[in-house]
Structure 1
Amino acid sequence: MKRHISLIGAPTDIGAGARGASMGPEAMRVANIQSILESHGLEVQDRGNLVGPSNPWQPPVDGYRHLPEVTAWNLAVHEAVHAELDQGRLPILLGGDHCLGLGSISAVARHCREKGKKLRILWLDAHADFNTSQLTPSGNIHGMPVACLCGLGPQQLIEIGGQVPAINPKWIRQIGIRSVDEGEKRLVHEQDLEVFDMRFIDEMGMRHTMELALATLDANTHLHVSFDVDFLDPDIAPGVGTTIPGGPTYREAQLCMEMIADTGLLASLDVMELNPALDVRNKTAQLAVDLIESLFGKSTLMRK
Structure 2
Amino acid sequence: MMQSDFYRPPVGWTGRIDGTDEELLRWHQRITPVNLLNGSLPVLKPHQQGLVFLGFSSDEGVRRNKGRVGAAEGPAALRKAAANFPVHFDSDLLLIDAGDIVCKDGQLETAQQSLSDTVLTIRKAGYLPVLLGGGHEITYGHAQGIYQHLRMRKRGEKLGLLNIDAHFDLRMTGAEGPTSGTGFWQLAQDCKLEGTPFCYLAVGVQANSNTQQLFRIAGDLDVQYVDADAFHLQDKVLLQAAISQFLRDVDHVYLTIDLDVFSAAFAPGVSATAYNGIRPDGLFLECYRAVLQSGKLAGIDIAELNPSLDVDNRTAKLGAALLFEMISNLHYH
Structure 2-normalised TM-score?
Answer: 0.74
For residue 107 of structure 1, the aligned residue among 145, 151, 158 is 145
Alignment check: 8 A CA contact 2:232 2:278 kept: no
How big is each residue's C-alpha offset from its partner over 1:267-299, in whole Å with a ceiling of 9 and x where there is no partner?
Answer: 211111110011012221111111222233359
Any gaps of 5 or more consecutive residues in structure 1? 56-68, 152-157, 300-304
Does 2:267 align with 1:237?
yes
Give the superposed CA RMSD. 2.7
Alignment check: 8 A CA contact 2:169 2:185 kept: yes
What is the aligned residue count? 273
Q: 2: distance between equivalents of 1:126 and 1:216? A: 19
Any gaps of 5 or more consecutive residues in structure 2? 1-46
The residue number in structure 2 matching 1:60 is none
For residue 13 of structure 1, the aligned residue among 59, 75, 79 is 59
How big is each residue's C-alpha offset from its partner over 1:96-153, in whole Å with a ceiling of 9 and x where there is no partner?
Answer: 111120011011112122222221221111100001146x9x97711111001000xx
Change (3 A) 1:9 1:105: same
Alignment check: 8 A CA contact 1:125 1:176 kept: yes
The runs of at least 4 consecutive aligned structure 1 residues that moved more than 4 Å come to none
Change (3 A) 1:219 1:121: closer
For residue 175 of structure 1, the aligned residue among 203, 209, 212 is 203
Q: 2: distance between equivalents of 1:52 and 1:204? A: 39
1:240-251 residue pairs with structure 2 within 5 A?
240-251=270-281
Aligned partner of 1:76: which letter? Answer: S
Aligned partner of 1:172: which letter? Answer: Y
How big is each residue's C-alpha offset from its partner over 1:10-52, in whole Å with a ceiling of 9 and x where there is no partner?
Answer: 111010021100000000111125x648542231100011233
How big is each residue's C-alpha offset from its partner over 1:182-208, in whole Å with a ceiling of 9 and x where there is no partner?
Answer: 322221121121011113444562453
Q: CA deviation at 1:238?
A: 0.8
The residue number in structure 2 matching 1:27 is 77
- Greater relative contact order: 1 or 2 (C-alpha under 8 angstroms, separation 6 or more)? 1
Change (3 A) 1:14 1:27: same
Q: Which has the larger radius of gyration?
A: 2
The residue number in structure 2 matching 1:70 is 108
Aligned partner of 1:184: which letter? Answer: L
The residue number in structure 2 matching 1:120 is 160
Aligned partner of 1:261: which letter? Answer: L
Aligned partner of 2:103: which letter? Answer: G
Does 2:186 align with 1:148?
yes
For residue 95 of structure 2, the aligned residue among 40, 44, 56 is 44
Alignment check: 8 A CA contact 1:106 1:167 kept: no
Does 2:307 align with 1:279?
no
Structure 1-normalised TM-score?
Answer: 0.81
